[in-house]
Each structure stands twice: as C-alpha cells, then as structure tokens.
Amino acid sequence: MPTVVEPKLIAGNGNKPLANAISRRMSLYRGMSVKPVDARVERFNDQEIFVEVYENVRGEDMFIVQSTSNPANDNLMELLIMADALRRSSAARITAVLPYFGYARQDRRTKARTPISAKLVANMMVTAGIERVLTMDLHAAQIQGFFDIPVDNLYASPIFALDLKTQFKDQMSDVMVVSPDVGGVARARELAKRINAPLSIVDKRREKPGEIAEMTVIGDVTGKTCIIVDDICDTAGTLCKAAEVLCQHGAKEVHAYITHGVLSGPAVERITNSVMKSLVITDSIPATDAVTGAQNIRVLPTAPMFAQAILNIWNGTSVSSLFDDDTLGPIYEGIL
C-alpha cells in the first residue's frame, strides 16, 4: 500500500463554506496548498444521492467535512454514501468531520416506545466505513460511547473564552456565566472556570416539549453582565425567555454564546426582538441570509480549530491539546 503523504479533504453539501475555510487554514499551517478533493455530490430526478470522486484516493488519509444539519436526512445520506465511495476506492482511513452532529438530541429513551436515534446513526456511520469521528460539542458526552471507533469531541468553550476576554476585557469583573437549564451546568461551569467568573442557573419546568411553564433563577444576577451558554439554539424560545427572566431579576445586560445555531422557524425574529444584546454562534452550521443580516447575531469561526485537529489526527499527535488556551490562543491570534 502506498505511504500516506498528505491529509485529503472531501466536502459534502452540508457546510461547504466551512470546508473551504478549513482547507485554507490547513494550507496556511502546512505552507502548501490543501484543496478539497475534486468530486461531485449530486441528486437524480427522484432525489437519490450520487457521489463520484475524480481523484485517486488509494491509500490516502481522507477527511469528510459534513455537518448533518438541515436538511439532516439528506446531509446524513451524503456522508454515508461518500464514505462508501471512499472505502470502495481503497482509502487508507476515513474520518468524518462533523462540526454539527445531527440526531444528537435523541440520545436516550425519554418515553416508552421511542428510539435512540443517535445510536442508530452511529451504527450506520461505522457500517459505511467511517473509522474515526471528529465533532464539536456533542449534545451529550455519552454519545461518544455509541461508537465502536475513536471519537474526538472538540469544545467551543475555549473559543468563547478567548472572545469574551476580548469583547468584555474592561468589565470581566461584572461577567456572570448562566446555564439556561440544569442539564447544561457542566458546560457553563467549564466556561466560567476559563474566564474566572461566577455561575448562575435558570431552572425551567416544561409541561410538554416546546412549552416552558416556569423559570427560576438560581443565583444573584443583580447588576451582572450575564452570558448564557448552551450547545444548541433551535427556535430560541427558551433562550429569549431566559434572557427576559434574567433582566427581570436585575441583570444589567444579557448576551448568549451558543455553539450550534440551528435557528429554525421564528428564531432569528425572536432574537432580533429580544432583550438580548447579542447572540454569538459558531459556523458549525451554515448561516442563512436571515442570520447574516441580523444585527445582534455574530458568528465565530471554527476552521482554525478544526484544521489543527485534522492535522493532529493525521500526524498522530494530541487533539486534547486544543482545549488549552496556551495552544488555542496563537491559532486564533488576530481573528477574535
């Protein structure tokens, strides 16, 4: 088998802007051009997905960049079919780079006779020939255990911490990190430790999915600049309500840092009209025109982190080193 010389990227339609940004950052780090492999991902008239790779990938270390966001089923099938095409073309190793892992919210049986779809998706990916997964901020850390292959789960909190220290450098003593629910306390605590800030919690009680019956603030937020931290913002109902409740409890202003901006339905309109000063998301999901045009929504780049993680996987070096500010800071110097 030929010696693996260079890491090679191939991009689906899930997040091409991010795939191109990753290739540019890899080119910068490597001092040589790294371009996505020439391929076509198309649909027949009946919407069947067809993939053709135009370059030789025999013996190569392949990285498929594909967010399984809306349309989740189409993007997931693209990922599986691309993996099968590469496996049948004798690629040495196939790594799925999933900036956003779809179906992650279905990680357990919440009621009788419901599926664990995240496990099903994991099984499908392994069967398709994927040998490693690189993702960011899984909805639940235990999803890594659904795979029988290595999973590298990156975290957005180091990027958020760098951005917060830049945006609020003159008022860090007033910053308080807030978890919008009890389940996200670990994520919020991680960011609070990084910026040496106190932690508060908004406890919500649901009557049924999509409806919030009651919200209670745990902790004194009076006069604080509150930073709500979460992994996913879908319709933004919980987020905007939490911001409103925090303001009612005396918060000076409220900002939100969310990893995956799903932002479906009325989300952008709600955020625009809410009491939140700003919403900061990453580019793990492609920004729509509405998101780009919203004045109080800002997008942070993840390409520098993903590019370095891909190179570390290819080199066989540590990926967890990217969790440290000392390592990540220089990568984002001049960007944030």
In terms of domains, do 244 and 283 share one?
yes
When pLDDT is averaged across residues 254-279 and rounded to a whole number, the result is 96
Domain count for the chain, please give it. 2
Distance in angstroms (rounded) separating the CA atoms of residues 12 and 86: 13
Instruction: Name beta bridge partners: 187.
Output: none
In terms of domains, do 105 and 17 share one?
yes
pLDDT of residue 325: 80
Single out the catalytic residue among 16, 119, 165, 204. 204
When pLDDT is averaged across residues 70-75 and rounded to a whole number, the result is 96
* Residue 119, domain member (yes or no): yes
229: amino acid identity, one letter: V
The annotation places the binding site for Mg(2+) at 139, 181
User: Which of 218, 214, 136 has its CA nearest to residue 176?
Assistant: 218
The annotation places the binding site for D-ribose 5-phosphate at 206, 230, 234-238
Catalytic residue status for 204? yes
In terms of domains, do 269 and 129 share one?
no
User: Which of 74, 57, 123, 126 has its CA nearest to residue 96?
Assistant: 126
The annotation places the binding site at 46-48, 105-106, 139, 181, 206, 230, 234-238
Distance in angstroms (rounded) separating the CA atoms of residues 118 and 129: 17
Distance in angstroms (rounded) separating the CA atoms of residues 243 and 259: 17
In terms of domains, do 210 and 243 share one?
yes
User: Which of 136, 171, 183, 172 has its CA nearest to residue 157?
Assistant: 136
List pLDDT tens digits, range 198-246. Answer: 999 998 776 665 555 688 999 999 999 999 999 999 999 989 999 999 9
For residue 84, give its domain range: 7-155+303-331
The annotation places the binding site for ATP at 46-48, 105-106
Say if pTM beats, i.e. exceeds, 0.85.
Answer: yes
Residue 216 is part of a domain; what is its CATH number? 3.40.50.2020
